[in-house]
Amino acid sequence: MLKNVKCARCVKCGKEYEAVPNLTSCSCGGILDIIYDYDYIKANLTKDKLKSRPNTMWRYRELLPVEETTPDTPLRVGWSPLYEEDRLAKLLGLKKLWVKDDGQNPTASLKDRASAMAVAKAKEAGAEIIACSSTGNAASSLAGNAAAAGLKTFIFVPSRAPKGKVAQLMTFGANVISVQGNYEETFELSKKAIDKWGWYNRNAAINPYLSEGKKTVSLEIAEQLGWKMPDYLAISVGDGCTIAGVWKGLKDLYAIGFIDKLPRLISAQAEGCHPINRAIAENKPWEPMEENTLADSIAVGVPRNADKALMAIRESNGIVVNVTDEEIMAAQKLLGTTCGVFGEPAGVTGTAGVKKLCEQGVLGANDTVVSVVTGNGLKDVANAIKFCGEPMSLPNDLDLLVEEFTKRGIKTEA
Ligand SMILES: *Cc1c(COP(=O)(O)O)cnc(C)c1O
Ligand SMILES: [Zn+2]
């Protein structure tokens, strides 16, 4: 029995379930939300207590749906740096900007937070095999975290998954099935296989514990800011589990009195695939869209967690912004050149959204913003090289180097 959790409740019909480790969706098809006992948490967790905890996501145990006896998972997940970026803030015309580089997780994306949770819950369930379908990062993070914990994995990825992510999967020893089709078809095949063989399910919108893992990113942001919250928190959105998790974390902290203000969420999606943002903008139920963007991690035409994501954006009085692939790649370069942070396309989409909102005058000189970079640029080097270009190439000849510098107008002084 989880002492800090009351139950899991369907976001659609309100039906309540006991929070057993292998919980999936409601019988009505709705997604479950973990309901905490905030009185218990308040009585057991203080800000002071956190100071002596390990620098991983497991420092927030009282706010996570795991048994006291469940061990921390082996890889160091969480406590990624939150950089105060004064130069970029000035460039964009913001009062303050922080960049949370979640590409610094062990398998290089925010998904490690969910996968570590999946591994912890699979262990509680006594499962030895975990499966998932993913555009790449859920897969590689599950493969890595499971390998470290001695669990076997079956992973379904769409054939367009970038090579860096597939290389991770193969290195971590997963059983990888590259599905000839889009993410939707990949998800369907994984579902059929999971039903057939009864593996532990790490599909984020099905397993209600995973967004609880993802919420640790906002718990960290709050702690790293000394519990003083920014006006806005920007994040890229695909299935919607991350933004829903981020909101859950903020509401948890508010409920236990650790923060006294809730930031407004900025939901950033690709122009070529923005079913969640479209639903908000047009105030209509979401509808499927084409998956037409190079930001593979958020190329999700049929979002699996739209209900929770839409609720989170609406409750926070959030802002939606869609960015083109060119704007995404420009943001990648901007983060690289001004912050030294290298994000994958979906990883920098939140920042691309912030930049666009600044240009549109929606955000400005009075606003403080945290932008989460959700995945590392090394996952997809092909697109980075395509947009940032190849280096100059020369033989070992100083005269030619001087000539080339002159030709390109490169100054050799600071
Ligand atoms: C998965 C992912 C997202 C979006 O998360 P969702 O839960 O699908 O909305 C954003 N960026 C990166 C790098 C991701 O891997
Ligand atoms: Zn239900």
Strands 319-323 and 368-373: unpaired
Atom of ligand 1 at shortest range from CA of 304: 8
Cβ 241 under 6 angstroms from ligand 1: yes
Q: Are 251 and 280 in contact (CB under 8 A)?
A: no
pTM of the model: 0.96
SS3 for 347-390 is HHHHHHHHHHHHHCCCCCCCCEEEEEECEEHHHHHHHHHHHHCC
Share of the chain above pLDDT 90, in %: 90
Instruction: Give the list of residues 6+ apart from residue 247 with CB closer than 8 angstroms, or none.
Output: 218, 265, 312, 315, 316
**Beta pairing partners, 234:** 266, 371
Give per-residue pLDDT as tens, 51-67: 999 999 999 999 999 99
Mean predicted lDDT score pLDDT of the chain:
95
Dihedrals φ, ψ of 230, to 5°? -80, 175
Q: Which residue among 100, 107, 239 is best mutated to probe the pocket of ligand 1, counting the most ligand atoms within 8 A of its Cβ?
A: 239
Q: Are 31 and 25 in contact (CB under 8 A)?
A: yes
Give per-residue pLDDT as tens, 370-412: 999 999 999 989 999 999 888 999 999 999 999 999 999 999 9
Tokens of 414: 């600071």
What is the arithmetic mean of pLDDT over 195-218? Answer: 91
pLDDT of 184 reads 84
pLDDT of 148 reads 98
Question: How many CB atoms are closer than 10 A to CB 218?
Answer: 29
Residue 38 buriedness (CB in 10 A; 0-12 / 13-18 / 19+): middle
pLDDT of 162 reads 83
Cβ 374 under 6 angstroms from ligand 1: yes
Cβ 242 under 6 angstroms from ligand 1: yes
Cα separation, 215 vs 249, in Å, equals 5
Ligand with an atom nearest the CA of residue 303: 1
Cβ 237 under 6 angstroms from ligand 1: yes
What is the arithmetic mean of pLDDT over 110-119? Answer: 97
What is the arithmetic mean of pLDDT over 114-125? Answer: 95
Residues within 5 A (CB) of ion ligand 2:
10, 12-13, 15, 26, 28, 30
Nearest by Cα to 215 from 239, 249, 238: 249
Give per-residue pLDDT as tens, 243-291: 999 999 999 999 999 999 999 999 999 999 999 999 999 999 999 999 9
Query: 177 C-alpha to center of ligand 2: Å?
Result: 31
Cα separation, 348 vs 341, in Å, equals 10
Cα radius of gyration (the chain) = 21
Read off the pLDDT band of 160 (50, 70, 90).
Answer: confident
